Amino acid sequence: MSSASQQACIVGIGQTEFSKASGRSEQQLAAEAVLLACQDAGIDPKSIDGMITYALDHSDEVDIMRSLGCEEIKYTTRLPQGGAASVSTIVHAKNAVESGICDTFLIFRAMNERSQYRFGQPHFNLSPDAHSSTFMEWCFPFGAQTPAAWEALSCGPYLHKYGITSEDLGRIAVTFRKAAASNPAAWFYEKPITLDDHQNSRWIVEPTLRLLDCCQESDGGVALIITRADKAKDLKQMPVRILGAEYSMFFNHEIISDFYAGDLIRTENSESVADRLEAVAGIAPKDTNVAMIYDNFTPQILRQLEGFKYCGIGEAKDYVKDGHLELDGKTPLSPNGGLMGEGYIHGMNNITEGVRQIRGTAANQINNAQTAFLASGVAGAIIGK
Amino acid sequence: MRPDPIQRIDTAFFWEACERGEFVAQKCEPCNKLWHPPRPMCPDCHSLEKSHAKLSGKGTVMSWVRQVRPASFGFKESPFVILVELEEGLRFVSNFESEDAPEIGMAVQVDFAKTSGGKAVPVFKKASSV
């Protein structure tokens, strides 16, 4: 079944605990997660020959190499767009190993986004010319200074057009927290919420986002090791194949501050990714067994369900209400509890969960999961056995 | 009060115009197209030759929010943030100056507000129905 373009496999995953105060440096969190991923795969960290992360990670490749003893790196790049790049890393990892440039490719992400800085608060020290932050110039002087504010402003037209209520968004948060409640690795383990809890939580951004519509600020590190099928067969774990990984960014669009192009109703980049993924993987995102969809804020789930064609435009709120995202539903959503429930390592912990689901080793294991969809807005990947 | 605008080489013309009380957009000289946010090159004809054009200042509210927690830094009270679709087809993030929240689809008209460092930024008010 596998073609020349389907040789990449995820063979190792590692993650630290997810907390609010890790008590150690981001570099150390990264090094620990990488070592765990290498041990999981059964490879020597010194053999890593390519590595990437994305914007807003403070750990340089040089420092990762210093701790892990990697002998020679032949490929590295730092992707733009923050958390939206979490699944874009899979596109690059796939290309790096299938092209033969790299044999043992590392994806890493480590952040003390709660204890060292407050990721969801305004940041005054960012240069407007810095990577992924030029948009700040057009938001900051007007008091739109947090990710929650940008997200809510961008989603406004969509939420208004389809009459989406706070309760509609609350159901999504309840779904995540229900899954997190039975995942011991989740920060919100054994802490489910009710729709009333959501409705009673304080406003973060009026008239859209309450506290329980937002992901957490978390400390932690996550790492994955990717190689080709020919190498993977000798390693410790059942390889999890990357059946397709696609990316899309259209003219004049931004990520969280997506204000300037399109109707702000449809998400054309997700639609493009969904179509290309179905063509290369031979399966549509909606027909996979698990949906790991980036949940920085609840409206993102609705827009991505529609963009990645789980349902028609304007239908996502009913798709959620009808229970399709429940663990026993048609397309279970983030059985780890997602970024809201488990931890927010900028999207990467949703990818390790996708791998566990295919291996059959997840805390909330979906029966007979053959394929999983990984999504972060502009990027999508389908992984499977 | 509100924070001063951040200025970059490619955008200084916009904020300087605000100090003169003018609401402008980048204009490509050869092809006359308007662009916002500003950029070094016209993405249509790739000319670097640019000036700016005064806008009507009329638009409609596409979306609005108010940052409650944390409150907007540099403001006495968090303002209503709006995304305005301008008459010229451009979009602009700004504020709605009113006690009451705006409504999506509401017609608005530009005005200017002073910043803490004595600069000015464009803000919007409900358009007077004439």
CB–CB of B83 and A124 under 8 A? no
* Chain A residues within an 8 Å CB radius of B75: 143
Q: Catalytic residue positions of A?
A: 294, 344
Residue in A143, A211, A264 closest to B67 by CB? A143
A135 to chain B, any CB pair closer than 8 A? The answer is yes
Max mean pLDDT range (A52-61, A74-83, A96-105): A96-105
Q: What is the mean pLDDT of chain A?
A: 95
pLDDT tens for each residue of A293-307: 999 999 999 999 999
Residue B26 makes CB contacts below 8 A (sequence gap 6+) with: B13, B14, B34, B35, B36, B38, B39, B50, B52
Polymer length in residues for chain B: 130
AA identity, residue A70: C
How do residues A344-355 score in pLDDT, each as one tens digit? Answer: 999 999 999 999
Residue of chain B minimizing CA distance to A145: B72
A303/A118: higher pLDDT: A303
What domains lie within chain A, and their CATH numbers? 8-114+215-384 (3.40.47.10)
pLDDT tens digits along A136-162 = 889 999 999 999 999 999 999 999 999
The residue among A152 and A134 whose pLDDT is bigger is A152
User: In the prediction, which pLDDT does A129 show?
Assistant: 63
> Scanning the structure block, which residue is given the tokens 């993987």?
A281
- What is the arithmetic mean of pLDDT over A216-221? 95
Maximum Cα–Cα distance across chain B: 46
Tokens of A241: 């194949």
Least confident of A24-28, A120-124, A191-195, A290-294: A120-124
Sheet with A379-384: strands ordered across: A75-79, A50-54, A105-112, A219-228, A8-15, A240-247, A379-384, A371-375, A290-293
Beta bridge partners of A79: A54
Q: Is residue B33 predicted with pLDDT exceeding 60?
A: yes
Interface predicted TM-score of the whole assembly (ipTM), two decimals: 0.97
For residues B75-84, give the mean pLDDT.
Answer: 97
Looking at residues A228-252, what average pLDDT do you find? 96
What SS3 class is residue A170? helix
Residue of A nearest to B122 (CA): A142
Q: Residue ranges per domain, chain B? A: 12-126
Question: Which residue intervals of chain A are DSSP H helices?
Answer: 26-41, 61-68, 88-98, 147-161, 166-180, 195-200, 229-232, 268-281, 298-307, 316-321, 338-341, 348-359
Q: Which residues of B lie inside 8 Å of A (Cβ-Cβ)?
A: 2-8, 11, 36-37, 43, 62-70, 72-75, 78-79, 81, 83, 90-95, 101, 104, 115, 121, 123
CB A97 within 8 A of CB A215: no
Burial A130-169 (b: 16+ CB within 10 A, else e): eebbbbbbbbbbbbbbbbbbbbbbbbbbbbbebebebebb
Longest dimension (CA), chain A: 56
Q: How many CA atoms lie within 13 Å of B39's alpha carbon, on the beta-carbon side? A: 15
